[in-house]
Each structure stands twice: as structure tokens, then as C-alpha cells.
């Protein structure tokens, strides 16, 4: 297979460094450790369609990062984009909000099992922060229980002491627990009577650099009862998992009911907005919190959301993505075995994590991922990956062929692997 080259990507990156801190900031940037070696990865895209994006050098990639989640139906989905075009003819960001906001709220309440109301913002971190404020307003308490390694955005309260820009006061009221350890949560609640406002976690554990972990049997049911018995708001960060597990919400998938649910990535197939859904018991608290943004009520994203959620319902998107993900990952595991590699897959197949276990340092895994990317299958080495509904059997077949060639290369570089 042809190995991709990135001359224009590099030229543009050097240009960007002159005017943008780090050239590309955040987790998408090559300085953040996701691109090892950086020479294997594109930095800038030129266009995208379906399951593919093309970089500025004209290289085509089957994209398993899906813009880190927002691409759920396929890039530039015609149904979604046409809905946006029609709304833009009428208006978008206006002084008085469009009734599209009401329509989308009604759709979310009809779709998400636990939802009695919906509130809109722009980023996932906007609604996780709002969820925390709602919980504190409702309870009059200040402490939050969070799972170690969980990710809820980049607001100061979500980060760790020692990170640049973070001071002790930012995280003073956070209490951290290990995932799937109910007894630890129970003890913290007992040791902090009437002080815990919120328990916030993702529906299953999907940190970077670690195998994903599903909840143990009855874990969420026990957490739910503990929160109810002690007046604690149970907030679920469904920003990544949302609508890739269950259209009714990932709490519904795992058999419990959250008080607050945070959605973002799959809401509008790339059109930017986020949603906090809540129960009637928290409606007044949500109404009392002053929280808004310049573009939060823009109509075009709501039009995209209506089209996206309805299409996901029509095609049973979660089931479709899980089936495609299982076919892809089962094949990758089998191909790895042929060459002596133990590729471990964890999480739900529509949003999985994988690593080669032969080497605890992840060096082999990084090398294999880089060889896949150089040949047109875009994975990230240390982050969970995503399936979108437009992925075809032909895409999966080509990905398997790319993966096999990449395994061959790594095997030849490491003859010690048996």
C-alpha cells in the first residue's frame, strides 16, 4: 500500500505556529501526545464526507475518531445539512430565539427516558458545569464525588491540582473515588453527611491510556439508591456515549435512572450544541441558575439536532453502530493473532478502546497505529474510538487489509514477538 506523505500539512503547521499557541491546541494538537510519531499523522483536513476525511495533501482516511465523536451519521449527512440550510434561510442567531428550540426540547424529552426538560449550551463542558451548579442549587451543598480518571471538560473544577492555571480552590470540594468501587462511595457519603451535592460519572469508564471498563453488576443500581437515600443528585456525563449505546440514554442502557444527563457529541452530527436533560424535581433549581452564552440559542444547530435524532431513531443508530463496531474489532483482533499480537478491545463496540498488550509501555501499539494511519485508517493510539452509521462493509474490509499490512510491518521490526 502507498504510504501517505504530509508536506502541505507540515507547511501549514509551521505557518499556524506563528499566530496560534502550539499551532493546534487541545487534544487535537500534535504536541499533546496523541500523534506518535507526528510524522505519521495529518494535521489539517480539506474536506469530509461519510466515513472519510481528506487532508490538505489529498490523502483519504477512513475516520475512526469521527471528529472525536460528533460524526455519528456520516460527515455532511444530506438530511441534517439540508435541515440546516432551510433554517438558515429563516434565521439563526436572533434576539428572540427560534421555536426550533422548543421543537428540539420536545424531541429530547420524548427520546431520553429520564428527561422532563432540556437546557441548551454549546460544549459538553458547558452542560457538565451547569449540572454541577444545578445540583448545588438544589441541595445547598458544596461537595462533588468524581471518578478518578474521568473526563468532564476543561473548566477549572474538572482538572487536577498541578495543571497550569489551576489553583487549590478550584478543586477543593472534589472527592475522588475509584471506578466500580461502590463501598468507597458509600464510605465517603457516610463520612460527609449532608455535604455531598452531586455524584458525577460517565455511564462506563472510558479514560485515556486505559482499558475501558463497564459497570459491575448492580453498580449503578446501588449508586442510584445511595444517592436517593442521601439527597445526592446523580449526574451522568453522556457526552461521549450518548446515542451510541441507547437512544433513551446510557442510563437506560445500564438499567437505572439519572437525575441529570449531559449530552453533546452525537446530538447534531457536527453542528455545535449541547444539552442537559433533567427530572421535574430539579426544574426549579435549573431555572434559578444564571447560565447563558452568546450563541447558545442559535436555531441552525437545533434544526440539525432534530434531523439527526430523528434519523438515528429511524435507522436504530445505536444497534447499527454496535454491530459495525463488533465486526470491525473482531476482525482486528483475529488479524493481530495471526502475527503474534494480543489486541485487547474494551468498552462498547460503537465506542471502543484498544491496545496491544504484548508491551506494557504501549510502544508497539503506537507503532501499529501509526502504520495504520500512514495507509489510510485513522485511529488514535490512546483515546477511545468511534463508529459512525455511514461506515460500510467495504470500509471495514479495507481497514482490515490496512491493519494486516501494519501488523506485518511491526512484526518485521520486532522479530522477538512470537
- Asked if residue 372 is part of any domain, the answer here is yes
> Are both 57 and 171 inside the same structural domain?
no
Residues 206 and 134 in one domain: yes
In-domain check, residue 291: yes
> In this predicted structure, what is the pLDDT of residue 31?
67
Classify burial at 48, counting beta carbons within 10 Å of its beta carbon; exposed 0-12, middle 13-18, buried 19 or more.
Answer: middle
Asked whether residue 418 is domain-assigned, the answer is: no
Instruction: Tell me which residue range forms the domain holding 383.
Output: 7-75+317-413
Q: Please check whether residue 379 is in contact with residue 369, taking contact to mean a CB–CB distance below 8 angstroms.
A: yes
CA distance 161 to 267: 32
d(CA 106, CA 305): 12
252 and 399 assigned to the same domain: no
Is residue 44 in a domain?
Answer: yes
Instruction: Using the CB atoms, write b or e for 201-238: b if 16+ within 10 Å.
Output: bbbbbbbeeeebbbbeeebbebbbebbeebebbbbbbb
CA distance 208 to 353: 9
Helix (H) or strand (E) holding 79: helix 78-90
d(CA 54, CA 296): 30
Domain assignment present for residue 1? The answer is no
Whether residue 127 contacts residue 262, with contact meaning beta carbons closer than 8 Å, is answered with: yes
For the whole model, what pTM was predicted? 0.96
**Does one domain contain both 197 and 303?**
yes
Cα–Cα distance measured from residue 97 to residue 159, given in angstroms and rounded to the nearest whole number: 33
The whole-number mean pLDDT for each consecutive block of 10 residues of the chain, a chain of 418 residues, reads 95 95 81 82 97 98 97 98 98 96 98 98 98 98 97 96 95 98 98 98 96 97 98 98 98 98 98 98 98 96 98 98 98 97 98 96 95 97 96 98 98 88
Clarify whether residues 116 and 95 are in a common domain. Answer: yes
Q: Which of 295, 315, 335 is the last residue of a domain?
A: 315
User: Has residue 163 been placed in a domain?
Assistant: yes
Structural contact between residues 365 and 341, judged by C-beta atoms closer than 8 angstroms: no
Q: Could you tell me which residues come within 8 angstroms of residue 330 by beta carbon, excluding any fewer than 6 positions away?
A: none
In-domain check, residue 347:
yes
284, part of any domain: yes
> Residue 336's pLDDT is what?
98
Return the pLDDT at 340. 95
The number of domains in the chain is: 2
Do 233 and 94 fall within a single domain? yes
Residue with cell 477549572: 156
**223/230 Cα distance (integer angstroms):** 11
Strand 143-147 to strand 196-201: parallel, antiparallel, or no bridges (unpaired)?
parallel
Per-residue DSSP letters for 115-129? -SEEEEESSHHHHHH
Name the phi and psi angles at 304, rounded to 5: -65, -40
- List 176's β-bridge partners, or say none: 146
- Provide the 10 A C-beta neighbour count for residue 88: 12
Q: The domain that contains 12 carries what CATH number?
A: 3.90.1150.10
Residues 277 and 339 reside in one and the same domain: no
C-alpha 290/C-alpha 268 separation (Å) is: 25
Q: Where are the beta strands (DSSP E) in 255-407?
A: 260-263, 274-278, 343-348, 351-356, 377-378
Instruction: Please tell me the distance from the alpha carbon of residue 329 to that of residue 333, in angstroms, as a whole number.
Output: 6
Q: 393-413 vs 317-338: helix axis angle to the nearest 10?
A: 30
Half-sphere exposure of 98 (CA within 13 A, CB side): 21
Q: Which of 315, 337, 367 is the last residue of a domain?
A: 315
Beta strands at 260-263 and 60-63: parallel, antiparallel or unpaired: unpaired
Q: Based on the fold, state whether residues 159 and 280 are members of the same structural domain.
A: yes
From 262, 167, 165, 180, select the one nearest 222 (Cα to Cα). 180
Question: Do 57 and 121 fall into the same domain?
Answer: no
- Determine contact, residues 369/399, Cβ cutoff 8 Å: no
Same domain, 278 and 331: no
Same domain for 33 and 88, yes or no, is no
Residue 416 pLDDT: 86
- Same structural domain, 150 and 272: yes
Domain end among 288, 315, 342: 315
CATH number for the domain harbouring residue 294:
3.40.640.10
Amino acid at each position: 500500500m502507498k504510504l501517505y506523505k504530509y508536506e502541505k500539512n507540515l507547511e501549514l503547521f509551521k505557518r499556524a505556529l506563528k499566530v496560534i499557541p502550539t499551532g493546534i491546541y487541545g487534544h487535537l494538537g500534535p504536541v499533546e501526545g496523541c500523534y506518535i510519531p507526528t510524522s505519521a499523522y495529518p494535521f489539517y483536513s480539506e474536506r469530509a464526507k461519510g466515513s472519510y476525511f481528506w487532508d490538505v495533501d489529498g490523502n483519504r482516511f477512513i475516520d475512526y475518531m469521527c471528529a472525536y465523536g460528533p460524526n455519528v451519521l456520516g460527515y455532511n449527512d444530506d438530511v441534517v445539512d439540508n435541515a440546516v440550510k432551510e433554517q438558515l434561510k429563516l434565521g439563526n442567531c436572533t434576539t428572540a430565539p427560534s421555536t426550533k428550540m422548543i421543537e428540539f426540547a420536545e424531541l429530547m424529552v420524548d427520546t431520553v427516558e429520564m428527561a422532563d426538560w432540556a437546557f441548551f449550551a454549546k460544549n459538553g463542558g458547558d452542560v457538565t458545569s451547569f449540572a454541577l451548579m444545578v445540583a448545588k442549587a438544589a441541595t445547598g451543598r458544596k461537595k462533588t464525588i468524581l471518578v478518578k480518571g474521568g473526563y468532564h471538560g476543561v473548566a477549572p473544577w474538572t482538572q487536577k491540582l498541578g495543571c497550569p492555571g489551576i489553583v487549590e480552590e478550584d478543586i477543593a470540594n472534589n472527592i475522588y473515588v475509584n471506578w466500580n468501587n461502590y463501598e468507597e462511595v458509600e464510605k465517603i457519603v457516610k463520612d460527609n453527611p449532608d455535604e455531598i451535592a452531586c455524584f458525577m460519572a460517565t455511564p462506563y469508564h472510558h479514560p485515556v491510556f486505559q482499558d475501558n471498563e463497564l459497570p459491575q453488576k448492580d453498580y449503578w443500581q446501588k449508586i442510584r439508591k445511595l444517592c436517593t437515600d442521601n439527597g445526592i443528585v446523580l449526574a451522568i456525563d453522556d457526552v461521549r456515549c450518548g446515542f451510541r449505546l441507547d437512544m433513551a440514554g446510557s442510563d437506560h442502557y445500564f438499567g437505572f435512572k439519572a437525575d441529570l444527563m449531559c449530552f453533546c457529541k452525537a446530538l447534531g452530527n457536527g453542528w455545535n450544541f449541547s444539552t442537559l436533560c433533567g427530572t421535574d424535581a430539579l426544574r426549579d433549581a435549573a431555572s434559578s441558575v444564571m447560565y447563558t452564552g452568546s450563541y447558545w440559542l442559535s436555531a441552525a444547530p437545533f434544526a440539525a439536532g432534530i434531523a439527526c435524532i430523528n434519523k438515528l431513531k429511524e435507522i436504530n443508530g445505536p444497534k447499527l453502530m454496535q454491530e459495525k463496531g463488533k465486526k470491525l474489532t473482531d476482525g482486528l483482533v483475529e488479524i493481530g493473532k495471526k502475527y503474534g499480537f494480543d489486541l485487547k478491545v474494551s468498552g462498547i463496540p460503537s465506542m471502543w478502546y484498544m491496545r496491544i498488550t504484548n508491551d506494557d509501555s504501549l510502544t508497539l501499539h503506537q507503532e501499529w497505529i501509526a502504520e495504520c494511519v500512514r495507509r489510510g485508517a485513522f485511529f488514535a493510539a490512546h483515546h477511545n474510538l468511534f463508529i459512525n452509521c455511514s461506515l460500510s462493509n467495504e470500509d471495514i474490509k479495507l481497514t482490515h487489509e490496512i491493519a494486516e499490512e501494519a501488523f506485518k510491518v511491526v512484526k518485521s521490526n520486532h522479530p522477538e514477538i512470537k
